[in-house]
Structure 1
């Protein structure tokens, strides 16, 4: 028996509606999974807010639906990047899906990574993606075709540059090796710096041993990684907040719920989305301050400098959009919509990635 089948047997026949009669409650067995542990804010909020709040409101409303939860956070049942598969295969009913680790399934949701320097406001970023999903069928279908109902989106706080030595001008980056994995490698092209792959787990050692001289990352990742111990100079480039994933529910389960329960689940999901943005903004600011108190030195780029830095980057957004167009996905439509959504929020950004 495969590991997946064994796990399925261990967890039990999930998503079973136990009906003891029309007048009695439906007890729905729910397995909640995430590859990240509960220490991460997106999982912590699902564990401490979404689940208990849904239960409380269902009881208060006298709903016929009642959830019986099994929590399997931190990769105990499903590895990071496999959460959507667990939902689709019926191994879980609630999950946090990291779209950045499942990019092949969610290419359109990753538009922010090819269009940096837009906004540092996670709430604005999350609302933009949510609005686009409501207007662009292909974005919404990325969830439904994988048996998921989108409940609430999350993001990462704005990326900055953490380096051994101060970066006073763009020219100071010339020749420096910087940890910038995946799509963020495009954010150093044209600056003279060299992108080096890595993760939050490797940045400290890479910088300490001289493999790199800094890293592109965000405050809520840099602080627990103790990055400023080896890279005490923070250049607040503000590459922007990034859409990173969503809390989702199995569509098979959701569709069988009573209408009142569906409404409650969606309402709490929207509140999860809003609370996450508030929590992340506060946490990011607090951790940045703690790094400064610990000896880190911060330099903010002026609007003129941000415009200069953005201008030297190659426009990878347009080729990204055209490549998706060629595959039958509305890449250009999504890129244009993303820029329009951020602009409509009143944000002034240094470069319009939808133009040459």
Structure 2
């Protein structure tokens, strides 16, 4: 009798283990950036770890960073086709397949403040851009959220005293926004690959670059930069689909699991966004200690930026329509209205992660159905 009961117990335990294994879902997640990036260690990695814990490992994750599996250009198709089940997606690389979603990559000039940019981009993406959601669905994808970059500023190896000093300087750029801004400043755009930035700065092939102070550390040029134009932020890149999964995998998850994934994301979006800002400020402080001066050009630059926004709006609309986003102007107007709201909300949040989470959930995630 004891032997029989023992065997029954072993069989039951084996069945339980088999059932647990059968219902466990392992998700491979591809990130094209290294683990040292804030977006990895403050957003993606802790979010995936939190999901494992909250689901009692019904969901498990394998995080591949630094493009170990796929680069930024191939992540979208790799998720769509099932080579991985999740990853960082930037629709800018897929303008023809995702003409509306790619518009977020053109909103830089209209997104000067990171918290407002993140909130407005997520709210627009999920609530006011059905075309964006449809594009992701057609590509077997589902986005849950994302963050933004630190604000773009101009950092130069020369000492600057007025806006006129930028005229004729060689400023590193790589995208349409960069070159439109550089032209508006009367400077010359130079398309230098990331790998050549350090050497180009050292040799004087470029005088300035558009980016955040963290770049100074990344490229080892902190000691070479003498001036940063800080009158205004020239904008941030919003990335509302930074955390994306394969839709067919998502559809196979239970409703409880989906709720856990949605209810946890705001915490890590807030954490990642605030930490990006802190990282940027810390890098700026180190650059100041190394001799970088903040240069304020006052009303002259504010006025130039206002004029630039007019031409940038026209460029954005033209670019959107050329790639197939016929209603891009309506999407832009919706974003701008939402951004104004989030500008005020950002002042109330004032760097408080808990408040940021509360607002994100209230305005977006609490009633989000995907």
Question: What band does the TM-score fall into relative to the shorter chain?
Answer: 0.7 to 0.9
Give distance in 1, aligned partners of 2:291 and 2:35.
29
Describe the superposition over 1:273-330 as per-residue Cα deviations: whole angstroms up to 9, x where unpaired.
Answer: 2211111111111111111112211223435532234425771332431443362542
Instruction: Verify the 8 A CA contact 2:109 2:312 in the aligned structure 1.
Output: no
Q: 1:230 to 1:109 in 2, by over 3 A?
A: farther
Paired position in structure 1 for 2:356: none
Paired position in structure 1 for 2:5: none
Describe the superposition over 1:131-169 as per-residue Cα deviations: whole angstroms up to 9, x where unpaired.
Answer: 112222112223222222111212111001111112322
- Cα deviation, residue 232, structure 1: 2.4
- Cα deviation, residue 85, structure 1: 0.8
Instruction: Verify the 8 A CA contact 2:31 2:87 in the aligned structure 1.
Output: yes
Paired position in structure 2 for 1:36: 33
Match of 2:128 among 135, 144, 148: 135
Paired position in structure 2 for 1:214: 208
Give distance in 1, aligned partners of 2:325 and 2:191.
30
Q: 1:268 to 1:168 in 2, by over 3 A?
A: same
Aligned length: 324
Instruction: Verify the 8 A CA contact 1:160 1:235 in the aligned structure 2.
Output: yes
Instruction: Verify the 8 A CA contact 1:189 1:313 in the aligned structure 2.
Output: no
- 5+ long unaligned stretches in structure 1: 1-18, 60-64, 348-356
Describe the superposition over 1:237-258 as per-residue Cα deviations: whole angstroms up to 9, x where unpaired.
Answer: 4101221351111111111111
Greater helix content: 2
Kindly name which structure, 1 or 2, has the bigger radius of gyration based on alpha carbons: 2
- Cα deviation, residue 51, structure 1: 1.2
Q: 1:69 to 1:147 in 2, by over 3 A?
A: same
CA RMSD of aligned residues (A): 2.5
- Give the stretch that moved more between structures: 100-109 or 325-334: 100-109
- 5+ long unaligned stretches in structure 2: 1-15, 345-370
Q: Quick check: 1:93 aligned with 2:88?
A: no
| TM-score, structure 2 as length reference | 0.79
SS at match of 2:47: helix
Paired position in structure 1 for 2:258: 262
Paired position in structure 2 for 1:246: 242
